[in-house]
Amino acid sequence: MRENAANISSSVTRRPLPDFVPCIVAAARGDGNRVTATLHCRIGCREALAHNRKKQQGDMTTTIYSARKIITMNPARPTATHVAVRDGRILGAGTLEELTGWGDHIVDNRFADLILMPGFVEGHSHAFEGAVWRYVYCGWFDRVAPDGKNWTGLRSLDAVIARLAEQEKALPDAAAPLTGWGLDPIYFDNVRMTREDLDRISKDRPIGVMHASFHILNVNTKALEMAGLMRTGVNHPGVPLGADGLPTGEMKGPEAQGSVAAHVGLDRAMMSGDERGLRDFARLCVRKGVTTATDLANPLPPDTVEMMLRVTGDATYPARIVPLRRYLGDDARGTIEAAAALAEKSSDRLRLGLVKLVADGSIQGFSARLRWPGYYNGAGPGLWYIPPQRLAEALEAALELGVLVHTHTNGDEATELVLDTMETALRKHPSADHRFTLQHCQLADRAQFRRMARLGMSVNLFPNHHYYWGDEHYALTVGPERAERMNACRSALDYGVPLAIHSDAPVTPLAPLFTAWCAVNRVTASGRTLGETEKIGVYEALKAITLGPAWTLKLDGELGSIETGKRADFAVLEDDPTEIAPENLKDVRVWGTVHDGRIFEAAKI
pLDDT in tens, 263-306: 999 876 667 778 999 999 999 999 999 999 999 999 999 999 99
What local confidence, expressed as pLDDT, does residue 454 receive?
98
Q: Kindly state the average pLDDT of the residues 103-119.
A: 98
How many other CB atoms sit within 10 Å of the CB of residue 59? 7
Give per-residue pLDDT as tens, 503-553.
999 999 999 999 999 999 999 999 999 999 999 999 999 999 999 999 999
Per residue in 122-165, pLDDT (tens digit) is 999 999 999 999 999 999 999 998 888 899 999 999 999 999 99
pLDDT confidence of residue 178: 97
What does the pLDDT look like over 81-98, one tens digit per residue? 999 999 999 999 999 999
Q: What residue type is assigned to position 27 of the chain? A: A
- CA dist., res. 148 & res. 151, Å (int): 9
pLDDT of 32 reads 38
Please tell me the predicted confidence (pLDDT) of residue 266.
Answer: 87
Predicted confidence at residue 270, as pLDDT, reads: 64
pLDDT at 273 (0 to 100) = 76
Q: Looking at the DSSP assignment, which residues form a beta bridge with residue 458?
A: 437
CATH number of the structural domain 136-265: 3.10.310.70
Pairing of β 23-29 and β 34-40? antiparallel
Q: Cβ distance 405 to 418 under 8 Å?
A: no
Q: Which amino acid is at 150?
A: N
Task: Share the mean pLDDT of the chain.
Answer: 91
Q: What is the pLDDT of residue 102?
A: 95
Split at pLDDT 50, 70, 90, the class of 60 is confident
pLDDT score of 11: 40
Give the pLDDT of residue 268: 64
Q: Taking residues 170-199, what's their average pLDDT? A: 95
Of 19 and 255, the structure prediction assigns the larger pLDDT to 255
**pLDDT computed for residue 148 by the predictor:** 84
Q: In the predicted model, what is the mean pLDDT of residues 316-326? A: 97
**Which CATH number is associated with domain 270-604?**
3.20.20.140
- Predicted pLDDT of residue 146: 84
Intra-chain end-to-end CA distance of the chain, in Å: 16
Helix (H) or strand (E) holding 49: helix 45-57
Q: Which helix (H) or strand (E) holds 440?
A: strand 437-440
Burial of 356 (0-12, 13-18, 19+ CB in 10 A): buried
pLDDT band at 33 (very low <50, low <70, confident <90, very high): very low
Q: What is the C-alpha separation between 512 and 505, in angstroms, rounded?
A: 10
CA distance 344 to 305: 12
State yes or no: cis peptide before 506, omega within 30 of 0: yes
pLDDT for 184 equals: 94
Lowest mean pLDDT across 40-44, 396-400, 434-438, 503-507: 40-44
Q: Is the pLDDT of residue 45 over 50?
A: no
Chain centroid to Cα 348, Å, comes to: 17
**Distance separating alpha carbons of residues 446 and 469, to the nearest angstrom:** 22
Task: Write out the DSSP string of 532-552.
Answer: GGG---HHHHHHTTTHHHHHH
Check residue 99 and give its pLDDT.
Answer: 98
User: In sequence order, what E strands does 5-146 have?
Assistant: 13-14, 23-29, 34-40, 62-71, 79-86, 89-94, 106-108, 115-118, 120-122, 136-137, 143-144
Q: How far apart are CA 167 and CA 124, in angstroms?
A: 31
Ordered DSSP codes for 119-172? PEEESSB-GGGGTGGGSEE--SS-EE-TTSPEEPP--SHHHHHHHHHHHHHT-S
What separation in angstroms does the CA of 558 have from each of 118, 292, 567? Answer: 11, 11, 6
Nearest to 534 by CA among 586, 510, 499, 507: 499
Residues of the chain with CATH 3.20.20.140: 270-604
Q: 239 pLDDT band (50/70/90 cuts)? A: very high
Instruction: Show Cβ contacts of residue 545 under 8 Å, excluding neighbours closer than 6 positions.
Output: 120, 121, 122, 500, 501, 512, 513, 515, 516
- Write out the E strands in 281-382: 290-298, 320-326, 354-358
- Give me the pLDDT at residue 269, please: 64
| Residue 305 and residue 592 in contact, taking contact as beta carbons nearer than 8 Å | no
pLDDT of res. 138:
98
Residue 48, pLDDT above cutoff 90: no
Indicate whether 393 pLDDT > 90. Answer: yes
Q: What is the largest CA-CA distance in the chain?
A: 108
173 Cβ contact list (under 8 Å, min separation 6): none
Contact between 250 and 240 (Cβ < 8 Å): yes
Q: Residue 18 has what DSSP assignment?
A: P
Residue pair 115/576 in contact (Cβ under 8 Å)? The answer is yes
> Residues of CATH 3.10.310.70 domain(s) within the chain?
136-265
| pLDDT per residue as tens digits for the range 540-589 | 999 999 999 999 999 999 999 999 999 999 999 999 999 999 999 999 99
Helical H segments across 220-301, by residue range: 221-226, 253-258, 268-272, 275-287
- Look at 52-61, 247-256, 427-436, 467-476 and tell me which has the smallest mean pLDDT: 52-61
pLDDT digits (tens, 9 = 90+) for 188-235: 999 999 999 999 999 999 999 999 999 999 999 999 999 999 999 999
Q: 10 Å Cβ neighbour count for 38?
A: 9
Reduced 3-state DSSP string for 452-520: HHHHCCEEEECCHHHHHHHHHHHHHHCHHHHHHHCCCHHHHHHCCCCEEECCCECCCCCCHHHHHHHHH
Query: What are the φ/ψ torsions at residue 602 (nearest 5 degrees)?
Result: -60, -35
Q: What is the pLDDT of residues 427-484, one digit of tens each?
A: 999 999 999 999 999 999 999 999 999 999 999 999 999 999 999 999 999 999 999 9
Q: State the average pLDDT over residues 65-92.
A: 98
